Structure 1
């Protein structure tokens, strides 16, 4: 049996999917013509482009994992993040011919099918990797949680672009942060440290929590909250946390917004966390 205990306890976000889907469609129906065209934090993408990207995600998920239809693959020598960027851009470019009313109609239909699809999946079964959590196969509970965080993130990007608050209460954002912080062990994978070295991330505010990552005999692992003094404690608010994990802000900006108590170099390594597919320059290995 494959050990995935290093990811921490399982979570089930499926009860939130229908609510998030309904809120997303309601958000899109309230947009005026000018708001559809507003730029977002996604370089080169308007609000409409971000919505079209979500539609592409829905169609891709249903086609591949429900219908078993696999036709897109990286080209020779193409890294997976580059492949993903390419096919996302190709989709969004093609989807620009879709009108906003038709886009809403398609998102409503496909989003409802996504909600139904995830109810049929055994969350404890191993699927493929969630690449920001590591290269190993992981249980489907993390896969669906990853999908929920992507829906939520794009919802918030549209809200930011149009001056709306969005789904920032604990009911929605709490599970997002709980999912994002599952990237900590993979984030620290190149940090060489004595066994028992502990990083504790404290996200403050009603949607926050405490995540503890400890270096074991074989790898970094998420553990219950440390009883002993961690090697480093990081304190950051919920807005900093989710924007860092989705690269809405850079690690350098996050350092300025984070209180660090303990080993600052180890804290800097932890703040490289990213919970989306990302193509940063490869850093040198961290050693302590």
Structure 2
């Protein structure tokens, strides 16, 4: 047996990215595990520790009993504290320990996925003692490992897989957040439209329309008179949306047409994850 048909694309995307992560980190020497990644405050070791920890939780393993240091400036809320636990507990692990645990965890997860018979709406473990559907969990893992694969590729100067299965899942997940980013967070006025035009390995055009009540919706049809049009490449889009870079660092890669103040507000609120 295998995962439910509607979950298979998430499992396939996860496998593609997790295999890429293994290939990227296997040859690293000890010092390279300490290199800083675009993921705020995390090294290569920290990113891999996070992946191991989250996959372990999907397996139902108990969380580590560990006290976080008080001087972790980037840990500013309970969610960050939850995520940091799996990272900090491995901060002194050696390169062989990291690769061995990563490979063993992946073997177990692959076996779990091959034998998965639960329906997509089955409730499973989520961070902070909450629950989520199995579909949400697997989609989230496919998204997470692809973004962290790209973190590692950036650090190690090994670009690739910007159009992989995980990239498509990431695109769709990020686009779902755009109406809130533009209509609520950036405060686009009622009866306006904002166009996002993305080129590169993944090409797409989306319009966020804000109705008379200030609610945003998204579709693939162009707008004849948008308030703002943002044109950028896919790599810049995902890096901005995932909090890997701020707009002022990539301003030369974003073309803005329309209201400059509204564009600035949108780009200021663009990141939906860190």
TM-score range, shorter chain: 0.7 to 0.9
**How much does 1:140 deviate?**
6.6
Please list, as runs of the form range in 1=range in 2, the aligned pairs for 1:227-242 lying within 5 A after superposition. Answer: 227-242=223-238
Partner residue in 2 for 1:265: 261
Give the Cα separation in 2 of the matches to 1:245 and 1:107: 29
RMSD value over aligned CA atoms? 3.5
Q: Confirm or deny: 8 A CA contact 2:58 2:125 kept in the other structure.
A: no
Q: Confirm or deny: 8 A CA contact 1:183 1:274 kept in the other structure.
A: no
Q: Deviations over 1:175-208 (max 9, x none)?
A: 322322221112121415122x111101111312
2:82 to 87, 110, 113: 87
Give the Cα separation in 2 of the matches to 1:148 and 1:247: 18
Q: Deviations over 1:32-61 (max 9, x none)?
A: 333223222334432122101111111234
Residue 155 in structure 1 maps to residue 163 in structure 2: no
Single out whichever of 233-242 and 257-266 deviates more from structure 2. Answer: 257-266
Partner residue in 2 for 1:112: 110
Partner residue in 2 for 1:286: none
2:193 to 198, 212, 216: 198
Give the Cα separation in 2 of the matches to 1:141 and 1:82: 26
Q: Which runs of 5+ in 2 are unaligned?
A: 1-7, 66-74
Please list, as runs of the form range in 1=range in 2, the aligned pairs for 1:148-187 lying within 5 A after superposition. Answer: 148-169=142-163, 171-187=165-181
| Paired residue secondary structure (1:261) | strand
**How much does 1:241 deviate?**
0.8
Inter-CA distance 263–120: structure 2 relative to 1 (3 Å threshold): farther
Give the Cα separation in 2 of the matches to 1:258 and 1:118: 43
TM-score (norm 1): 0.71
Partner residue in 2 for 1:216: 211
Give the Cα separation in 2 of the matches to 1:106 and 1:48: 16
Q: Confirm or deny: 8 A CA contact 1:198 1:231 kept in the other structure.
A: yes
Give the Cα separation in 1 of the matches to 2:15 and 2:142: 10
**How much does 1:274 deviate?**
1.6
Partner residue in 2 for 1:133: none
Residue 122 in structure 1 maps to residue 120 in structure 2: yes
Q: Deviations over 1:61-107 (max 9, x none)?
A: 4439xx9x9x9xxxxxxxx9711211222221212354124322333
Q: Confirm or deny: 8 A CA contact 2:208 2:219 kept in the other structure.
A: yes
Give the Cα separation in 2 of the matches to 1:154 and 1:163: 14
Q: Confirm or deny: 8 A CA contact 2:143 2:166 kept in the other structure.
A: no
Residue 31 in structure 1 maps to residue 53 in structure 2: no
Q: Which runs of 5+ in 1 are unaligned?
A: 1-10, 72-79, 131-136, 279-288
Inter-CA distance 139–86: structure 2 relative to 1 (3 Å threshold): closer
Q: Confirm or deny: 8 A CA contact 2:198 2:232 kept in the other structure.
A: yes
| Paired residue secondary structure (1:222) | strand
